[in-house]
Amino acid sequence: MTPPDHTQPVSIIVLAAGEGTRMKSSLPKVLHPIGGRPMLAHVLAAAGALEPVHTALVLAPGMDDVAATAQTAAPDFQLFIQKPALGTAHAVLAARALIEGFTGDVVILYGDTPLIRPETLKDMVAARRAGAGVVVLGFEAEDPGAYGRLVVEPSGALSAIVEASEADETTRALTLCNSGVMAVDGALLPDLLDAVGNENAKQEYYLTDIVAIANKRGIACVAVEGQEREVLGVNSRAELAQAEGIFQDRMRQAALDGGVTLADPSSVYFSYDTELARDVTVAPHVVFGPGVYVGEGALINAFSHLEGAHIAAQARIGPFARLRPGAEIGEDVHIGNFVEVKKSVIETGAKVNHLSYIGDTFVGAKANIGAGTITCNYDGFDKHRTHIGKGASIGSNNSLIAPVTIGDGAYTGSGSVIRKDVAADALALNDVKQKTFPRWAAKFRARKSKSE
Ligand code: UD1
Ligand code: CA
C-alpha cells in the first residue's frame, strides 16, 4: 500500500440519512453487519486509511444508535443532521460547516456501500491531485437499472451524471454507472453544491448534478473505474447477503494468500478481524465470529464455532468445538468434540477432548480433563471460578462445583462431584457404594414378557 500523500489534507463525508425501508428492519440499515461489523464501520475504516483531518457523518434526526456506532469506529467524527432529506447534494450541504473554507480533498461516501477498499479511495484522491476538480468512482454494471449513468466523452472527460429517472433511451443504454463515491476539490465544492437545483422527477437536490455544473465552469471531471462487487449498495436483505458473500470471498482469499490451508474455502466463514497465522489449517464448515486469533500451525477441525478466542500455536480444536469469548487456548492444547470453553485459560499441552463445558476456569499445563466434565460455574446469580492445577487429571464425568481448586498433579475419580478443594497430588472421589442385584435384569424381563 502506498502511504497517503500529506501535501493536501483529506476530509470525509459519509451520507447515511436515508431511511433504508427496504431492509424491513427495526435496526437502522447501516448498522446491519457484514463479517460481524456494522456496514457503517466498514465504510469508516476504509475512509480512515486516508488519514482524514475531518470525518463528517450525515444522519437523519433520531439516529442515535448509528451515531453511537460511528463513535467506536471513528471517535473524532462530526455529526451533521439533515432534516428533511432532500437528496444527496442537500445531504452534503448539511455538513457545510465542515467544507466551508476547507481547501483540501473531500471524499464523499455512502454508509450503505460497505465494500469500498482503501486502495480505490487512494486512487481517487490521486486522480483528484492529478488535476481533476471532481473524480467519480464508476463501474460497469451488469444490470444498470436505477443507477446514475456516467457520460464520458471520447476525450475521456466526464461530462455529466444522469440519473436513470431523468435519462433518455440513449443515456439509459450506457453501462458505466455511478457508484456514488466522489473525490472533490474542497475549494470548489460549496459553490458547486449551491448551484444544484431540484428541477427533476424526484424534486431532489442531486449530488450527481455537480459534474455537469463543473463542466460548464471549465472544471475538469474524470471517472475512475472500479469493480461492481466493490461498490455494491445495500438496500435490501438480498443485497446484504450478496455483500456478505463478496466480503467472505475476500477474507478467504486473504487467508489463502497469507499461508493458511482451507480445504473448502467456501464453507469457512470469517469476521472482519479474524487473524490466522501461517500454516494454520482450517477444515470445512468452520465459523469464526469476531475477535479470533489462531497461532501458527494450529488445526481447526470441521464444524467448529469460535468467537473471542485466542488460540496459540500448534493447538488442535474440534471437530464440533465451541470456543466462546475469553477462551485462551495455549500451545499444543487439544480441545475435542462437543467441548465448550468460555472465559477460561487452558495452558500448554492440556487436553479437554470430549463432551465438556469449561467456564470461568484455569487449567494448568498438561492437565487432562476426562470426558463429560462440567465446571458448574453458575448458581443462578453469580459466576464462580474453577482452578485446575498443572498436570492434574480429572476423571470422566466429573461435576466441579465452583468455586473450587484442584491442586497440581491431583486426581479425581470418575463420576465425582467435587465440592471441596483438592490438595496437590491428592486423589478425591465420591465414595458411593455400588449395589448389585444378581439375576435382577433377567427376572425383570421375564415378568415384563409375561404381562404382554
Ligand atoms: C445514488 C446516486 C446514483 C448512484 C447510486 C449508487 C444521486 C442523485 N444518485 O442514487 O447516481 O448510481 O446512488 O448507489 O446521488 N442520502 C442522504 N440524504 C438524502 C438522500 C440520500 O443522506 O437526502 C444518503 C442515503 O442514506 C444513501 C446515499 O445518500 O447512503 C444514497 O442515497 P440513495 O437515495 O440510496 O441514492 P440512489 O437513488 O440510490
Ligand atoms: Ca441507493
The answer to whether the pTM exceeds 0.75 is yes
Q: Tell whether 126 and 22 lie within a shared domain.
A: yes
Q: What ligand 1 atom has the least distance to the C-alpha of 84?
A: 23
354 has catalytic annotation: yes
Residue 328 maps to which CATH number? 2.160.10.10
Number of structural domains found in the chain: 2
Q: Tell whether 298 and 198 lie within a shared domain.
A: no
Q: Whose CA is closest to atom 8 on ligand 1?
A: 206
By the 10 Å C-beta count (0-12 exposed, 13-18 middle, 19+ buried), 347 is classed as buried
Query: Does some domain include residue 451?
Result: no
Q: Whose CA is closest to atom 25 on ligand 1?
A: 18
Q: Tell whether 164 and 264 lie within a shared domain.
A: no
**Residue 20: its pLDDT value, please?**
87
Query: Does some domain include residue 5?
Result: no
Query: Does some domain include residue 134?
Result: yes
Q: Tell whether 264 and 180 lie within a shared domain.
A: no
Q: Tell whether 244 and 223 lie within a shared domain.
A: no
Ligand 1 site: residues with CB under 6 angstroms?
15-18, 58, 82, 85-88, 90-91, 110-112, 147-148, 161, 163, 177-180, 206-208, 233
What range does the domain containing 269 cover? 237-428
**Residue 18: its pLDDT value, please?**
87
Tens-binned pLDDT, residue by residue, of the chain (452 aa)? 555 555 789 999 999 998 889 999 999 999 999 999 999 999 999 999 999 999 999 999 999 999 999 999 999 999 999 999 999 999 999 999 999 999 999 999 999 999 999 999 999 999 999 999 999 999 999 999 999 999 999 999 999 999 999 999 999 999 999 999 999 999 999 999 999 999 999 999 999 999 999 999 999 999 999 999 999 999 999 999 999 999 999 999 999 999 999 999 999 999 999 999 999 999 999 999 999 999 999 999 999 999 999 999 999 999 999 999 999 999 999 999 999 999 999 999 999 999 999 999 999 999 999 999 999 999 999 999 999 999 999 999 999 999 999 999 999 999 999 999 999 999 999 998 999 999 999 999 999 999 87
Most informative mutation of 13, 31, 110, 142 for ligand 1 (most atoms within 8 A of CB): 110
Q: Tell whether 199 and 322 lie within a shared domain.
A: no
Q: Tell whether 196 and 111 lie within a shared domain.
A: yes
Query: Does some domain include residue 444?
Result: no
Q: What ligand 1 atom has the least distance to the C-alpha of 29?
A: 26
Q: Tell whether 123 and 214 lie within a shared domain.
A: yes
**Residue 47: its pLDDT value, please?**
98
Q: Tell whether 198 and 90 lie within a shared domain.
A: yes
Q: Tell whether 27 and 134 lie within a shared domain.
A: yes
Query: Does some domain include residue 447?
Result: no
Percent of the chain at pLDDT > 70 equals: 99
**Residue 19: its pLDDT value, please?**
81
Residue 33 maps to which CATH number? 3.90.550.10
**Residue 451: its pLDDT value, please?**
85
Q: Which ligand neighbours the alpha carbon of 59 most closely?
A: 1
Q: What ligand 1 atom has the least distance to the C-alpha of 207?
A: 15
Q: Which of 216, 231, 246 is the last residue of a domain?
A: 231
Q: Tell whether 310 and 394 lie within a shared domain.
A: yes
Query: Does some domain include residue 409?
Result: yes
Q: Tell whether 24 and 156 lie within a shared domain.
A: yes
- Could you tell me the three cell numbers for 124? 481517487
Query: Does some domain include residue 77?
Result: yes
Query: Does some domain include residue 2?
Result: no
